[in-house]
Structure 1
Amino acid sequence: MKYPVLFAIFLLSSCTKVETTPLLQWQHVAQGSYAAEISVNGRYAAVSSVEHGVAFWDLQQNALKYQWQHTPEQDNLVFSLAISADNTHVLTADQHTFALWRTDTGQNAGFWQLDQSTVRDIAVSDEGRHLLIAKSNGVVQHITLSSGRRLEFMGHSEKVNSVAMSPNGRYALTGSNDYQAYLWDTDSAQVIHSFSHPNRVSKVALDPQGRFAFTADSQSLARIWDIQSGALVSSLQITARQQVFSAVRFSADGQYLLTGAPTRNVVLWRVSDGKELQRWRVMPRDGSRPAGAVVHAVAFLNPTRIISESSSGYAEVWEINYD
């Protein structure tokens, strides 16, 4: 009875052609990066590396706009990046410090220090009005800059691994080692929906249009939820025994989901049923043995093209083929 099952799995996993030749490729970091983020519309990218600090790129022109440092006299250790949905601000974080930057002038809009615990993940709202900081003690802090208000969400019992926030800053999605993801109201810290997993939740994402939430655990269960009702829309049809996601992005029309992984893979999924539609593999990091790279960020450029940033230090543009 085992052989037909294994054979079916082989057919399913082998039917998707893996593309390895991008349409365009730009080197943003010579020695590789350890964090990157791409804006919702694919216009800008922020890339963090030891040699260049945080570099902010205009992807339409492939032009370097700004370079930022938390502590210019020390090595850059920024490991977490977030770009507001309206492209006006970038939030950067190392383990103990987070900073907000304006994209129109490149000027810093504020530095903050954590006295206790460390930063796990971050998010920023439109106009940089609200910041979301996940801390290693399980607390998630929502900061409103205009008033200085700091609301602490304490619904998780263990470390928070991933956070997302709606563009207006009103709603937050957080995932933790406690096997839970929560969608909650940042005005009251009240939980709106809870999404349970059989393993620790390692990645979450929100559709900027307010339609969907994405949650994935550390094994091979990844789900798309309806934000309004909390109902399950689909589960990604993953064939691997273990699948971890390092990047997630919903398409503007809400029909597709793009994911990146620490295994060089970028995958396009259909939201309605979780079916895999296309797969790409980014350039490996120079000198890595075996050849590997972490996909830090993905985005849709238009209905037929996507872009990725990976630890290889390259931005790569790929073509979508819906046939």
Structure 2
Amino acid sequence: MYKTADRLMLNHRFTFLWVMISLFLSACSGAISQPEKSVRHAQEGAYAADISADGKISVISTAQQGILVWDLTNQAEKFKWSHQEEGNNHNTVGIVHIAADSSYVVTADREAFALWNLTTGEPEGFWRIDEASVRDIAVSNNGRGILVGRGNGKVLFFEPKTGRRLEFLGHQEKINSVDISPNGFYALTGGNDYTAYLWDTRTGQVIHKFVHSSRVTKVALDDLGRYAFSVDSKRGAKIWDVQSGKEISQLFYLQRQKIFSTATFSENGKYLATGSPGRALNLWSVTSGSEIQEWRVTPKEGTQPQSAIVYAVSFSQENQLLSESSSGLAEYWPFEQD
């Protein structure tokens, strides 16, 4: 048995070695760190963010300014929201999701979630979760359905206008990530039980079961109903055919472990864009799983070592990606299509 001091020294050596390996891999990857354009959306950094599918709206949960809605066409603040009472500046919202048609957005902390109308800027509902913490959330077009993944392994599908509720009980352990189809009929959920499920929100019926070798940490659905993406905590990052349930490709990367904080498919179906907690923004080929390009977003000020979480990415134009990160910056990254 090692003594405590020996263990600490070994841990420090291991950490130093891992940092050096990571820096070496980053240097060899040809990552680009200079965006074409950068706009500050949050003065003191951000806790969460999402970008609309058309790249015209960003919603950012900020450290000091509450929840901000930005018009990206004019780069102007459109609305400012708060989960808390007037005068309470302690914002705890850590999850933001915009509907595919940019009509509504849901925001959530661990105990409650709210539905907001992106046309009027007004809230249309606020709900508390008593049974278990909110782990992830998503909303469908027109605010028709809200999907809530919880810490007890249950997934709630809720229709605000009709009051209809359905609980999906397929998972055995806590939920880590959820996504919903634009029409609200299909859900993709992943959890600590090594499984991602694609299921019907009208019946609760499982359509496909995607099995991984470790806990599923991130899932994403293609808005046009072609693909599903699921990632585990080891090296399993897979793209699936939604119709057949068969694997299309597995993302190829050198790292032993790569964490994904966001993922979105391009409208033309050729690309998958992902972000990570370690500043990385990556573009992948859907058919082959190969990496096309990597970028590094601007680190958040004051972090040591310098880092930033990529919260959201969008194909804002045909040859351009837009990212929102914990640095509080919206950054634009051009790329050449095949």
What's the TM-score once normalised by structure 2's chain length? 0.90
User: Counterpart of 2:32 in structure 1: which amino acid?
Assistant: E
Question: Residue 63 of structure 2 corresponds to which residue in structure 1?
Answer: 50
Percent identity, aligned pairs only, is 49
Q: 1:68 aligns to what?
A: 81
Of the three residues 222, 235, 241, the one matched with 1:207 is 222
Instruction: Give the C-alpha shift of residue 13 in structure 1.
Output: 7.7
| Match of residue 309 from structure 1 | 324
User: Aligned partners of 1:113 and 1:276: how far apart in 2?
Assistant: 41
**Match of 1:293, SS?**
coil
- Which region of structure 1 is more displaced relative to structure 2, 70-79 or 247-256? 70-79
Match of 2:203?
188
Report the Cα distance in structure 1 between the residues aligned to 2:279 and 2:185, rounded to whole angstroms: 34
CA distance in 1, matches of 2:182, 2:248: 22
1:302, distance to aligned residue in structure 2 (A): 1.6
Of the three residues 166, 175, 179, the one matched with 1:164 is 179
Residue pairs, 1:2-81, within 5 angstroms:
16-72=29-85, 73-74=87-88, 75-81=90-96
Separation (CA, whole Å) in 2 of partners of 1:94 and 1:309:
19
1:1-48 superposed Cα distances (whole Å, 9 cap, x missing partner): xxxxxxxxxx99866421111111011111111101111111111100
Alignment equivalent of 2:256, drawn from 235, 238, 241: 241
Work out the CA distance in 1 between the residues paired with 2:50 and 2:273.
14
Residue 23 of structure 1 aligns with an amino acid whose one-letter code is E
Match of 1:103 in 2: 118
Alignment match, 2:7: none
Give the 3-state SS of the residue equivalent to 1:151 in structure 2: strand
Aligned residues: 314
Query: Which residue in the other structure is 2:142 paired with?
Result: 127
Other-structure match for 1:5: none
| Equivalent-residue separation in structure 1 for 2:109 and 2:299 (angstroms) | 25
Q: Which runs of 5+ in 2 are unaligned?
A: 1-23
Residue 8 of structure 1: aligned partner: none
Structure 2: distance between partners of 1:45 and 1:231: 33
Is 1:136 matched with 2:151? yes
CA root-mean-square deviation? 1.5
What is the distance in 1 between the residues matched to 2:253 and 2:296? 17
Distance 1:88 1:12 in 2: 41
Query: Which of 281, 304, 307 lines up with 2:296 in the alignment?
Result: 281
Check whether the contact 1:13–1:239 (CA below 8 A) recurs between aligned residues.
no
Shift in Å at residue 115 of structure 1? 1.8
Q: 1:23 to 1:258 in 2, by over 3 A?
A: same
Give the CA deviation at 1:146.
2.5
Show CA shifts across 1:66-119 (max 9, x none): 011011343110100110000010100111111000111100111111122110
In 2: Cα distance, 1:24 partner to 1:61 partner: 14
SS, match of residue 34 in structure 1: strand
Rounded Cα–Cα distance in structure 2 between residues aligned with 1:140 and 1:52: 31
Residue 19 of structure 1 aligns to a residue whose secondary structure is coil
Aligned residue in 2 for 1:6? none
Question: Counterpart of 1:218?
Answer: 233
In structure 2, what is the Cα distance between the partners aligned to 1:231 and 1:276? 21
Of 153, 165, 181, which aligns to 1:150? 165
- Point out where structure 1 has 5 or more consecutive residues left out of the alignment: 1-10
- Matched residue SS, 2:142: helix
State the 1:145 CA deviation. 2.0
